[in-house]
A and B are shown apart, each in its own frame.
Chain A
């Protein structure tokens, strides 16, 4: 039985927010950090609370810590040592393996995210801009009273219009796919596979192999928690549109090329089910928009190229051990939208995303290391993920086509990593336990 009243809401629910803000925090003394935590604790909702109040609620708050942050609030060394090595090392130390090199290197990250002083993140999702303003003012006021808690940086989230469906700055519809968790009562959409064991995402429950060993100690700290990889990915919208124009003659062909890179039309319709023409009705139909596989329906990638983003990030029936590699995605877009006709304005815009999982090394890091950046993935020879792979102009993208495939060489980088960190998102009981350490 999942403890819905203890699990932080963002693990299990998606707030109907259109704005929000992340604040990246650094604590002075452990007592100061805990004083801050005691202040915010009452407004951190559980999944149960968020579900019950979703229609009336205007804002949703989550709190998570880096490993340095857990130490900074006074968690003891024995407990700190019981966390997995990759979390202890942090995202910066894992940069090379993750593909965060060149322009993506932590040396170039912004907002103090690469700093060991990054201790915690406060995540705000808000229903309106007005509500965000109110919450930020409130937090500022209370930070002014709470000594020794510093905001290293913050990031305002903005959904991009039109607001009737979630999409990124490139114009792709998002939030169509996610693994469903056994015990939540949510039926996976057709084609999405069976619900997964909660332990794949939430600590303290059986995972796909059964009981889980070696969880962080003490139990009260790890139970109902999750690990969270944060990625701030700038989207180079101008470069993306230039690329489409340079490589496809007509607007229709540009749409098809955009769809080939993703595996779905910008409407969200999957190419396996709508190979030649967009189908917005299919895109919006939850009963149909995931109802496909690759092995039987598109083995050679004539519809969705083997290297397309969604085919890499979830190879479905064409990967072994797939249930041990799934991830929950949360987050939002940030920065101003770039109007269709506008040239690149040089302002930063992108996706500020969280990947949640029970094991960073087995789920998130595997995805980065193999699915996103292994140039030989699916025997592709010289390709990386066209949307988020580490691209330096030397990789290609192949589009299977009869009689012969199309090969686009010298793919530019459409995204750049501007920051990232590994966080632990504790359950509410664990947050309370931390807040009372030393009392």
Chain B
């Protein structure tokens, strides 16, 4: 069983290396979140899956802070409206933020799908959040280090400790980076402009 799982994983990894996006793929992931332990600068590296790299951070919201957390939706919107490329360094596809209850307490969930191992740009992410003001959403979460503003390492530690790796990920067009997608769309756009101008 374990062997079969490893074989399948090896095949998917080979497809990832080739960047073969033509076939939709799903990848089951061991409980640890990775197949073999490979250490990045701050901890284990989570593998590239058909849904690329990503993270899921779940943390309990301090009592009475729901509105403060939700208010950060507008903060992020305003920041990106004002400076559309402000998150560019993070190599993102999508971000999703949720609030939901479990047994009377409220939890915050933050998911991102990205094109690079999160560990690589961790400090940059912290810096960018700080400069956009969305970092303060975390101050509404339990266990968040008090001295986060001047102690980026503590911020990084918090993120690592609250990350819950996926046990399966699926990609309809696996392994494709956001930059490649934008390039393809640009070509399509130019092509249709060209065709229009030939009418």
Interface stretch, picked from A157-165, A170-178, A207-215, A423-431, is: A207-215
Q: Which of A90-112 contact B (CB under 8 A)?
A: 94, 96-97
One digit per residue, 1 when the CB lies within 8 angstroms of any chain A CB and 0 when it does not, for chain B 75-112 equals 00000000000001100000000000000000000000
B116 within 8 A of A: yes
A370, B39: Cβ atoms under 8 Å?
no
Query: CB within 8 A of B41: which of A209, A320, A369?
Result: A369
Decide: A376 near B41, CB < 8 A? Known: A213-B147, A213-B150, A321-B124.
Answer: no
**CB atoms of B151 and A361 under 8 A apart:** no
Q: Are A320 and B89 in contact (CB under 8 A)?
A: yes
Residues of B in contact, count (CB < 8 Å): 23
Quote the shortest CB–CB distance from A278 to chain B (angstroms): 33
Q: How far is the CA of A328 from the CA of B121 in the complex (A)?
A: 21
User: A366 within 8 Å of B by Cβ?
Assistant: yes
Q: Which residue of B has the minimal Cβ distance to A360?
A: B41
* CB-CB under 8 A for A319 and B41, given A209-B150, A369-B120, A374-B116: no
Q: A127 on the interface (CB 8 Å rule)?
A: no
A168 close to chain B: CB less than 8 A: no
- Contact at A97–B150, with CB atoms within 8 Å? no
Chain A positions 300-347 with a Cβ under 8 Å from a chain B Cβ: 319-321, 324
A379 on the B face (CB < 8 A): yes
How near does chain A come to B131, taking the closest CB pair, in angstroms?
9
CB distance from A41 to the nearest CB of B (A): 33
Measured between beta carbons, the chain A residues less than 8 angstroms from B40 are 97, 369
A370 touches B38 (CB 8 A): no
Take A366-B41, A369-B41, A379-B179 as given contacts and tell me if A320 and B124 are in contact as well, using a CB distance cutoff of 8 Å.
yes
Are B39 and A376 neighbours in the complex by a CB distance under 8 Å? no
Pick from B88, B128, B150 the residue with the most CB of A within 10 Å. B150
Closest to B177 in A: A379
Q: Between A and B, how many residue pairs show CB distances below 8 Å?
A: 51
Bound CA span A212–B39, Å:
26
Known: A369-B41, A379-B177. A209 touches B152 (CB 8 A): yes
Contact across chains for A376 and B116 when beta carbons are under 8 A apart: yes
- CA gap between A86 and B153 in the complex, in Å: 13
Within 8 A of B (CB), among A367-386: 369-370, 374, 376, 379, 381
Q: A319-B89, A362-B123 are in contact. Are A97 and B39 (CB under 8 A)?
A: yes
The CA-CA distance from A366 to B122 in the complex, in Å, is: 10
Q: Is A6 an interface residue (CB 8 A)?
A: no
Contact B124 A210 (CB under 8 A): no
- Give the interface of B toward A (CB within 8 A): 19, 38-42, 88-89, 115-116, 120-121, 123-124, 127-128, 147, 150-153, 177, 179
Binding site for B on A (CB under 8 A): 86, 94, 96-97, 209-214, 319-321, 324, 361-362, 365-366, 369-370, 374, 376, 379, 381
Could you jot down 26 A-B contacts, CB within 8 Å? A97-B38, A97-B39, A97-B41, A213-B147, A213-B150, A213-B151, A214-B151, A214-B153, A320-B124, A320-B127, A321-B123, A321-B124, A321-B127, A324-B127, A362-B123, A365-B41, A366-B120, A366-B123, A369-B41, A369-B120, A370-B120, A374-B120, A376-B177, A379-B177, A379-B179, A381-B19
